[in-house]
Structure 1
């Protein structure tokens, strides 16, 4: 059984403030609202607000200037340079990518994906499953899920590779805009079918990267699960020390 754990309040607030920096609501060099203002605006406790601001300072989005308060630095350079697997999944052109489309069809939504899409359990969604290969070796299995109403009137249900990314296709066909992505990384054992596709020996776990792509309102447009053989992966991050 899979349990979906909601991110803590301070992290959700930090993500909201980060999006406002990215969309220009809080421009570089300007002051962010005071702690009191943030408490009132978001209805959160002062410790939650303080922790969210400290997280953004640590990651380079904000800085404290004596006598001037907390100001916006803008998008940190290390964030621009960071490898984003979720972006790769959303922007992959299947017709030119290394690998092959191995499954397309409507399936009951998995519990973890249902939670991310805000759908009732067992609702049917459209699945596109792509196997990424390098030198003939399977290196990543990408399962992308789309609400049935969103996929209607598009080519996502076709068994042929798309000649553009799913993101580009949806934005053009449905007149929507992808705004931000939330990635959740966990580890688990693959099921029998996943182990066969990825050619994994018994007992080898996979890293699961759940990629939730949303519009500006927070509505989930697409959920992709990236499965990577754990014995062939290394995660690396870069961050500032204050």
Structure 2
């Protein structure tokens, strides 16, 4: 999220040096004009990733840049572990549709095949931030609750692993940019001409068979992709 990236940048440039306290939640709310829940979430993300830590009696302390920044917040992981019932936003579509070309290729399906789609609009502070479309081959849907129009409790991954006895093993992510169609632009509240980033998440079992494909659409003007990794 943007606020977490901003605070992380201030840690990296020395504005918030290691060992010092970060500004209080009230100070951050006033400084950045964000709501308190947004500030709390940003601090929690930075604590989880090792940039900050809570110390009894001292508050939130800057740890500095982690030796290796593990991208625990990768889109694929988030898409597969998201609990719809606990995610701010709304389920806007559930149904069988002709498989989109990119998804057909990932699932190994013919172009005219039908797949189940669950489309969820993720919101933050009342603003649409992600349009998440999850596609499932028809044979994987029987005996599950994926066709329900109610938000699922728990992640889809947990649901499928429990009901279908499959095992998710690895994920491939493909990132591309394009212009949204009119429906996508309306849902994401995008002005004309603003592109989206499409993160196609292909979740496979140990044999490489795709179990689920998720297309995560993000407003490109609000995104900054960064990864840190060790060179062997």
Fold conserved (TM > 0.5)? Answer: yes
Q: For 1:146, which of 122, 136, 139 is the aligned residue? A: 136
CA RMSD in angstroms, aligned pairs only: 1.3
Q: Matches of 1:106 and 1:79 in 2, distance apart?
A: 39
Q: For 1:180, which of 145, 152, 170 is the aligned residue? A: 170
Q: For 1:207, which of 197, 212, 218 is the aligned residue? A: 197
Partner of 2:54 in structure 1? none
Deviations along 1:14-57, whole A, 9 cap, x unmatched?
A: xxxxxxxxxxxxxxxxxxxxxxxxxxxxxxxxxxxxxxxxxxxx
Matches within 5 A, 1:63-102: 78=68, 80-102=70-92
For normalisation by structure 2, the TM-score amounts to 0.69
Secondary structure of 2:86's counterpart equals coil
What is the CA-CA distance between 1:78 and the residue it aligns to?
3.6
Is structure 2 residue 188 aligned with structure 1 residue 198?
yes
What is the CA-CA distance between 1:80 and the residue it aligns to?
3.7
Q: Is the 8 A contact 1:82 1:237 kept in 2?
A: no
Secondary structure of 2:193's counterpart equals coil
What is the CA-CA distance between 1:83 and the residue it aligns to?
2.6
Q: Is the 8 A contact 1:181 1:214 kept in 2?
A: yes
Q: Matches of 2:106 and 2:68 in 1, distance apart?
A: 28
What is the CA-CA distance between 1:81 and the residue it aligns to?
4.0
What is the CA-CA distance between 1:149 and the residue it aligns to?
0.8
Q: Could you say if the C-alpha distance between residues 236 and 161 of structure 1 is closer, same or farther in structure 2, counting changes exceeding 3 Å? A: same
Partner of 1:122 in structure 2? 112
Is structure 2 residue 103 aligned with structure 1 residue 113?
yes
Q: For 2:155, which of 142, 154, 165 is the aligned residue? A: 165
Q: Is the 8 A contact 2:71 2:227 kept in 1?
A: no
Q: Aligned residues, how many?
A: 166
Is structure 2 residue 219 aligned with structure 1 residue 232?
no
What is the CA-CA distance between 1:180 and the residue it aligns to?
0.3
Q: Is the 8 A contact 2:70 2:228 kept in 1?
A: no
The ranges of structure 1 where at least 4 consecutive aligned residues each deviate by more than 4 angstroms after the TM superposition are none
